[in-house]
Structure formats: C-alpha cells, structure tokens
Amino acid sequence: MRRGECHVLQVRNTGESGVRGVKSKNAVFDSRVSRSSIWSQRGRSALFMLWLVTTALATSSCGTKHAILNFAAPQSATAGSPFTVTVSVTINNQPDTAINSRLHFTSTDTTAILPGDYYFTPADGGSHTWPSGFILMTPGNQTISGEIVDAIGINGNVSISVTR
C-alpha cells in the first residue's frame, strides 16, 4: 500500500460459493450487500463477519477520512523574511493520529518560497511545524493553502498580510 491510500475489503455477492475482495482507494463499502441480504444467505455466516470487518476498516483505517487541515501562522509577515507555520490535521476536533498522507502547499504569492511536499505519519500525532519554513515575497494579502494530495476535499489555508 502506498502512503495515503486506504485499502479496504469490499464484500460482493458473486453468486458463487464465496465472496470476492476488491481493493479500493476510496474506502467505500459496497452498499449493494446489505445486512439483511447477508443474513438470508444460508451457510454464509462468514460473509457477515467479512461485512463487520469491512465496516470497521472503512471507518477506522484511513486516517484522512473526514479530516480538516488547520493552519497556525502569523497574521502578518515582512516580505522576504521567513516565518513558522504549523499544520494540524483533525477529525471531530481531535488530532488525526492515524494520518499517513502527502501534504502539498501552494500560495497566491507566485514568488513565495514554500516547503516541499510533506508526508504525515502517525508519529506526527496529527501535527507538523515548519520553523522558519515559509517566505512570502509580495506585499499585500497573501494566502498559503495546503491540500492532502490523495484525498478529495481535505485542505485548508491561512491569509497573511505581507508588508515591505
């Protein structure tokens, strides 16, 4: 498994004597198999156990599911001077300690000096700090944005007033 991917076992009724496991990048349970349809299939109690395991994996193995990026940065900065930024990843206002995904930065300041992509790991405890890691060059209101590359919709930003 590559960093940031969440592989879960999807359960499908193949009409045969077994079930087929499918790896999924998006941690989605195949909803075509319902609890009641599993119970109604005689001699397939193992299938129900797979459903339970799949549901648990879909809700807990992916550290980035429903996460929010929070930025801690100064409200203002001097053009050309480095400053510190901390990015925290939370789920339900709690640190996402299971995250293992790549974070990518962009800025409205096209001449900004930003850190390269960073791979969060569970050892980060849901937070990472870049001491003196950001430099904005263009005066005015600028935005620094971050996005988890392999997860749709997990992003955040901070606005900073840059002075000369």
Q: Are 47 and 19 in contact (CB under 8 A)?
A: yes
| In a shared domain, residues 89 and 149 | yes
| In a shared domain, residues 94 and 156 | yes
Residues paired with residue 89 on neighbouring β-strands, in sequence order: 69
**What DSSP letter does each residue of 115-142 carry, written as one string?**
---EE--GGGTTEEEEEEEEE--SSEEE
| In a shared domain, residues 54 and 72 | no
Domain annotation covers residue 1: no
Band of pLDDT at residue 67, cut at 50, 70 and 90: confident
Q: Which of 4, 5, 8 is nearest to 54 (CA)?
A: 8
CA dist 42 to 10, 36, 39, Å? Answer: 20, 12, 7
pTM higher than 0.85: no
CATH number at residue 75: 2.60.40.10
Model confidence at 77: pLDDT above 80? yes
User: Could you give phi then psi for residue 5, rounded to 5 degrees?
Assistant: -90, 145
Domain annotation covers residue 146: yes
Q: Which of 36, 60, 84 delimits the end of a domain? A: 60
- Total structural domains within the chain: 2
Note down the domain range covering 91: 68-163
| In a shared domain, residues 41 and 93 | no
| In a shared domain, residues 78 and 117 | yes
| In a shared domain, residues 52 and 79 | no
pLDDT, tens only, 83-120: 999 999 999 899 999 889 999 999 999 999 999 999 99
Residue 65's pLDDT is: 52
Under DSSP, the state recorded for 86 is E
Model confidence at 71: pLDDT above 90? yes
Spatial neighbors of 46 by CB under 8 A, at least 6 apart, are: none
Burial class (CB in 10 A: 0-12, 13-18, 19+), 134: buried
pLDDT, tens only, 25-63: 333 333 333 333 333 444 444 443 333 333 333 333 454
